[in-house]
Structure 1
Amino acid sequence: MVIVKRVKRRCRAPIASLDCMEEFSGTGGQLDFGRSISLGSNAALPLRHGSTPTPGLRYKNLGKSGLRVSNVGLGTWPVFSPGVSEEQYEAILKLAVESGINLFDISEAHSETELGKILAKWGWKRSSFIVTTKIYWSLKSEERGLSRKHIIESVKASLQRLQLNYIDIVIIYKADPMCPMEEVVRAMNYVIQQGWAMYWGTARWSQVEIMEAYTNCRQFNCVTPIVEQAEYHMFCREKAELYLPEMYNKIGVGLMAWGPLSMALSDTQNGDKILFPKGSFKTKSHSYSWTEEDGFALNKERVPEEGRRHCDKLRDLASLAEKLGCSPTQLSIAWSLKHESVQCLLLGATTPEQLHSSLQALQLLPRLSTSVMLELERILDNRPIRPPPISTLELR
């Protein structure tokens, strides 16, 4: 008689838990969670010159595709701005690569040309980096709309400027209400079939437009979009927290977020003026002046009630950031990355020191405990809530 012993097998951890482990890989136990840590503001923190990824930097699948991207990407619009010298932007790109960033987001033809020169100059292995570029739909442009002609010509022009054989992700910036969605998805499918691009995505599309594109792709057997680029920070949450996670679960569209550095969080010393993020006020009746940090300064006497409440939130955030040993901007970056729906967060910089300071925010992630996140929610008091569904019978 043969006796068969049952051997208990432990189930393997799901992929999601492995990703969570990657978040803390490379820290080497150097972080002391019992004390405040200084992030970026300490001059003793040297710039990284090795090839070891930044502690806290991890790699995720973009959407439900197999493309692995760093959870922090480099937005090159400020990198190649007119005030940044060639030596500076080369140093920024080099620091990004050495820190483990593998995604570069391009937004203008000028940026494409400059990045193409650097890629050709340094001869990086093509499989080691990811380039995303945009197709613009602008009323100011002579070549407007998202016609098949405009899409194909734009992609071919981008390839020439970038000096590349293919673009990893072509992103369509805004939907075109004057062009049939079938034409858009068929054109993007053709671009991918020709080998000019590997994937495509959208930017500033509504959830209805994204779903329409996906439905057309399924109907006509075309490649579906894998990502939506959307603004997401402490004061812009509704789309990224309510609707895009649903898009990911249903049709596999991921979230590439931008916005933490545009919040213009600033500590005021004299108390006379304070910087506010763009779009903080619903009224335009108050005079203001834009600043380099993309905010505007207002005298206290002229700040409306909504602005005063916003001012109090900024002070509370700055106070909490001081307790955590970081800057308000670093707290904003870490807060955005703490949300699982964000698969890649785009950061810009005009100096290597600014990029270094932003990357140090990754080390803050383990310190954003449940109690800290609850305190942030109490300060912000703007958690988005999905409106209740309206029955069609009630509308009759």
Structure 2
Amino acid sequence: MQFRYLGNSGFKISEITYGNWLTHGSQVENDTATACVRAALDAGITTFDTADVYANTVAESVLGEALKGERRPSLEIFTKVFGPTGPKGHNDVGLSRKHIMESIDGSLQRLQTDYVDLYQAHRFDFETPLEETMQAFADVVRQGKALYIGVSEWTADQLRAGHALAKELGFQLISNQPEYSALWRVIEEEVVPASKELGISQIVWSPVAQGVLSGKYKPGAPLPEGSRATDEKGGAGAVKRWLTDDVLTRVQELTPIAQELSLTSAQLAVAWVLQNDNVAAAIIGASRPEQVQENVKASGVTIPDELLGRIDEVLGGAVERDPSRTHERSPKTREA
């Protein structure tokens, strides 16, 4: 396992990070979830990412139980705040001071830890003054409940504004967590250059494009049983945008490129995002321990420029690059 610094800080994380967005408390049983976490630890992963909104707080509880007994200083535990939780009342969502201060305490209790290494604004809150949000984060850091602060799916302008306030308030904004894959490159034009300027790293989610870049979905073929695309609890909705014959045909053409590097297509996809020097980590999820064991093999891989060019040629017009798509990710109202 390779490790990278997160933003302009002295804080290192495993470049393959384990995340439990669509799995823990939802797609897989708790014993399987625990087995996946054990497989991650055995493979050298030390960084774990979750959020209070995942399975309406249950995912945090499952992760906390799975990590119970591990040496806390040897782990990096991340969680997030924004989405509606609990009974989803009018203050159970967003980045108000009230929601942040109550949410961090709930997350720590569920994760069975005194602090999280990184506390992240899961989306940008258009209805709360940014000054209020960043002051609350500053207080969370000063109380020792979080060591660092990050965000998720913020635009370049939002990152600049948040970073300036964090600096004024005496804490570090060191990370952004966007979707990023060989098929979804919307951060490259604006977010990545701004982040490099500010000393912010990307911790990217869905590097395998919800499993599509693994090559398991074949054009014109039935969806594989038990795959994310057949999961009506949330997985199917997330993956359906990629299930076109054009995309799936192009993805099949990546197989020979992966084979040249002695990688699977999924490993190639994870290794591809790690070639971006602004990416500190790729988040992988798993519904089986074997998936963790396979995907960690992407750590430390270097893809030659010639093969990166071939990947670009193969995927061609199937790649989404429009930077405005980041702005669409944050809801403009925060109704629970």
Shared fold per TM-score greater than 0.5: yes
Residue of structure 2 in register with 1:89 after alignment: 33
Would the alpha carbon gap of residues 148 and 372 (structure 1) be closer, same or farther in structure 2, given more than 3 Å must change?
same
Tell me how far apart the structure 2 counterparts of residues 96 and 345 of structure 1 sit (CA, whole Å). Answer: 13
Q: Is contact 2:108-2:115 (8 Å) kept?
A: yes
Q: Secondary structure of the residue that 2:177 maps to in structure 1?
A: strand
Residue of structure 1 in register with 2:145 after alignment: 196
Residue of structure 2 in register with 1:131 after alignment: 77
Give the deviation of 1:210 after TM superposition.
Answer: 1.2
- State the identity %: 26
Q: CA RMSD in A?
A: 2.9
Match of residue 331, structure 1, among 268, 281, 298: 268
Would the alpha carbon gap of residues 186 and 372 (structure 1) be closer, same or farther in structure 2, given more than 3 Å must change?
same
Give the deviation of 1:209 after TM superposition.
Answer: 1.1
1:225 aligned onto 2:173: yes
Would the alpha carbon gap of residues 104 and 177 (structure 1) be closer, same or farther in structure 2, given more than 3 Å must change?
same
Tell me how far apart the structure 1 counterparts of residues 38 and 99 of structure 2 sit (CA, whole Å). Answer: 33
Residue of structure 1 in register with 2:88 after alignment: 141
Match of residue 62, structure 2, among 94, 114, 123: 114
Q: Is contact 2:7-2:200 (8 Å) kept?
A: yes
Give the deviation of 1:79 after TM superposition.
Answer: 4.3
1:156 aligned onto 2:138: no
Give the deviation of 1:124 after TM superposition.
Answer: 1.5
Q: Secondary structure of the residue that 1:260 maps to in structure 2?
A: coil
Residue of structure 2 in register with 1:379 after alignment: 314
Q: Secondary structure of the residue that 1:150 maps to in structure 2?
A: helix
1:346 aligned onto 2:283: yes
Tell me how far apart the structure 2 counterparts of residues 386 and 205 of structure 1 sit (CA, whole Å). Answer: 11
Q: Is contact 2:196-2:278 (8 Å) kept?
A: no
Would the alpha carbon gap of residues 296 and 147 (structure 1) be closer, same or farther in structure 2, given more than 3 Å must change?
closer
Q: Is contact 1:134-1:173 (8 Å) kept?
A: yes
Give the deviation of 1:372 after TM superposition.
Answer: 1.2
Tell me how far apart the structure 1 counterparts of residues 143 and 162 of structure 2 sit (CA, whole Å). Answer: 20
Q: How many residues are paired up?
A: 305
Q: Please, what TM-score do these two structures have when normalized by structure 1?
A: 0.70
Letter in 1 for 2:186: E
Residue of structure 2 in register with 1:320 after alignment: 257
Would the alpha carbon gap of residues 361 and 251 (structure 1) be closer, same or farther in structure 2, given more than 3 Å must change?
closer
Aligned residue runs from structure 1 range 1-396, under 5 A: 57-107=1-51, 108=54, 109-120=57-68, 123-138=69-84, 141-142=88-89, 143-218=92-167, 220-239=168-187, 241-261=188-208, 262-265=210-213, 266-267=215-216, 272-273=220-221, 290-292=229-231, 294=236, 295-296=239-240, 307-362=244-299, 365-366=301-302, 368-381=303-316
Q: Secondary structure of the residue that 2:95 maps to in structure 1?
A: coil
Q: Is contact 2:121-2:150 (8 Å) kept?
A: yes
Letter in 1 for 2:281: C
Tell me how far apart the structure 1 counterparts of residues 272 and 306 of structure 2 sit (CA, whole Å). Answer: 13
Give the deviation of 1:327 after TM superposition.
Answer: 2.7
Residues 88-142 of structure 1 deviation map (CA, whole Å, 9 limit, x = unaligned): 222221221121111100123112112222333xx21111001101102449931
Would the alpha carbon gap of residues 133 and 312 (structure 1) be closer, same or farther in structure 2, given more than 3 Å must change?
same
